[in-house]
Amino acid sequence: GAVVSQHPSRVICKSGTSVKIECRSLDFQATTMFWYRQFPKQSLMLMATSNEGSKATYEQGVEKDKFLINHASLTLSTLTVTSAHPEDSSFYICSAPEGGLKEKLFFGSGTQLSVL
Amino acid sequence: QKEVEQDPGPLSVPEGAIVSLNCTYSNSAFQYFMWYRQYSRKGPELLMYTYSSGNKEDGRFTAQVDKSSKYISLFIRDSQPSDSATYLCAMRGLGDDKIIFGKGTRLHILP
DSSP single-letter state for residue B102: P
- Residue from the list B34, B42, B43 with its beta carbon closest to the beta carbon of A103: B34
Q: Please indicate whether, in this complex, the C-beta atoms of A43 and B102 are within 8 angstroms of each other.
A: yes
Residues of B in contact with A91 (CB under 8 A): 41
CA distance B32 to chain A (A): 7
Which residue from A3, A18, A26, A14 is spatially nearest to A79, judged by alpha carbons?
A: A18
Euclidean distance between CA atoms A81 and A96, whole angstroms: 20
pLDDT of the residue at A1: 67
pLDDT of the residue at B63: 97
When scoring B99, B103, B107 by the number of chain A Cβ atoms within 10 A, the one with the most, hence best to mutate, is B99
When scoring A34, A35, A43, A92 by the number of chain B Cβ atoms within 10 A, the one with the most, hence best to mutate, is A43
Residues of A in contact with B5 (CB under 8 A): none
Q: What is the pLDDT along chain A (116 residues), one digit of tens a residue?
A: 678 999 999 999 999 999 999 999 998 888 899 999 998 878 889 999 998 888 999 999 999 999 999 998 999 999 999 999 999 999 999 999 887 666 688 999 999 999 99
Tell me the three state secondary structure of residue B82.
helix
- Residue from the list A42, A105, A110 with its beta carbon closest to the beta carbon of B46: A105
- Residue from the list B42, B49, B99 with its beta carbon closest to the beta carbon of A109: B42
Which residue from B30, B6, B11 is spatially nearest to A102, judged by alpha carbons?
A: B30
Q: Let me know: does A12 contact A114? Beta carbons within 8 Å.
A: yes
Ramachandran angles phi, psi of B2, nearest 5°: -70, 155
Q: What percent of chain B has pLDDT over 90?
A: 79
Check whether the bond before A40 is cis (ω within 30° of 0).
no
